[in-house]
Amino acid sequence: MADDASIRTERRGRVAHLVLNRPKSINALDHEMALTMDNALHAWARDDAIETVVISGAGERGLCAGGDIVAIHRDGVELSNVDADGGAHDDHDAAASPSGRFWHDEYLLNEYIAHYPKSYVAIMDGIVMGGGVGISAHGNTRVVTDRTKLAMPEVGIGFVPDVGGTHLLAHVPDQFGTYLALTAAPIDGAEAIALGLADHYVPAEILDELVAALADRPAAEVLAQFSIEPPAAGLLEQRSWIAEAFAADDVDEIIARCRAVGSDFATKTAERIAAKSPLALRVALRSLREAQHDATLADSLRREYRVSLRSLLFPDLAEGIRAQVIDKDRNPAWRPAAAIDAAAIDAFFAPLPDDVELTFEVESSADA
């Protein structure tokens, strides 16, 4: 492919290498890129000459900063307002929007990556957030570095962890997944290893050597050579109180428990959560609790698709993106917690019309 294509692919020996190529936007993923990735991965899965697939990001800043939230903002503004006839938009409108179509195909890609039949080596160097987590952390071989900065920051823009993020975070022990979802806080490579969100720690300065070695040697052998013991995971020092505070099933109770700890870290954690969208926080917490009981990643992705489409119909998503990305005033006018009742939360999780629900051709019961 051309050097200016948003996805670059190349083959060398037994390796096929896919590079997200939008470095100015930290390789933010859009619909065309998701479709290109899906097509390439399916083609390589059928190619007996390919043994390993490598996914990385162009530039020095990161693998992928997430989805194209400016485009999502446009849909959110339109769909959270009344339509031309004075009525509210509905699930069909959300599904037919550019964001809805993108999420549909992106989530299918996430599910496919989770069951990829060959070694899928995701180079999670630099920033890996949102959609970047979806194309990496479901893979069977996840490489982090000393530059990794991984996060699911969606509640900060009035959204909820998606791309299978609720499935991943719900299975992180000691409520660290709930902590990550509600605070939107980033973790480093060592912490990602410790929490089970990555597999191998490789210094960033030797990544090129690692990728070159994969051309003629099995992935497991190469990773054994290049991986090193990660440094101590600093976040684990907070394990005891995080496990207790984030076990609550109510956002206000979690914030209160954090404040009661009394440490600077816990107090700042409470403040960090309190600044996020009250609606998104409550939907995210329920999403995580339900994901704990999902048999498969597909189950979580199906719920996330419902939640994502409904998020377009509520003003908090468009407002959050406006404040953080469009106007950058960092002062979103969230729907207050007092105005959120159980019915509003339930609306995010109700089944979609049959012709809108996310479906998968093949669903496995062996999701991690």
Residues whose CB is less than 8 angstroms from the CB of residue 136 and which lie 6 or more positions away in sequence, other chains included = 55, 63, 64, 122, 124, 128, 142
Location of structure tokens 């700042």: 268
Residue 71, classified by CB atoms within 10 Å of its CB into exposed (0-12), middle (13-18) or buried (19+), is middle
Q: Is 302 exposed, middle or buried (0-12, 13-18, 19+ CB in 10 A)?
A: buried
Torsion of CA 190, 28, 335, 243, to 10 degrees: -10
Chain centroid to Cα 225, Å, comes to: 29
Cβ atoms of 240 and 232 within 8 Å: the answer is: no
Q: Which of 57, 66, 67, 134 is catalytic?
A: 67
Active site residue 249: no
- DSSP 3-state of 36: helix
Catalytic residue among 75, 106, 154, 304: 154
* Residue 154 annotated to the active site: yes
Question: For residue 334, what are its two tokens?
Answer: 């969230």
> Coil, strand or helix: which one is 172?
coil
Of the candidates 76, 131, 132, 164, the residue annotated as catalytic is 131
Tell me the two tokens of residue 302: 């199906």
For residue 2, give Cα distances in angstroms to 9, 17, 56, 129. Answer: 9, 14, 17, 26
Phi-psi label, residue 367: left if phi above 0, alpha if psi -120 to 50, beta otherwise? beta
Instruction: Report the number of secondary-structure helices (H) and strands (E) in the chain.
Output: 17, 9
Q: How many CB atoms lie within 10 A of CB 172?
A: 18
Active-site choice (162, 188, 199, 294): 162
Active site residue 346: no
Asked if 174 and 243 touch (Cβ cutoff 8 Å), the reply is: yes
Helix (H), strand (E) at residue 107: helix 98-114
Q: Is residue 198 a contact partner of residue 319, using CB atoms and an 8 Å limit?
A: no
**Catalytically active residues, by annotation:** 67, 131, 154, 162
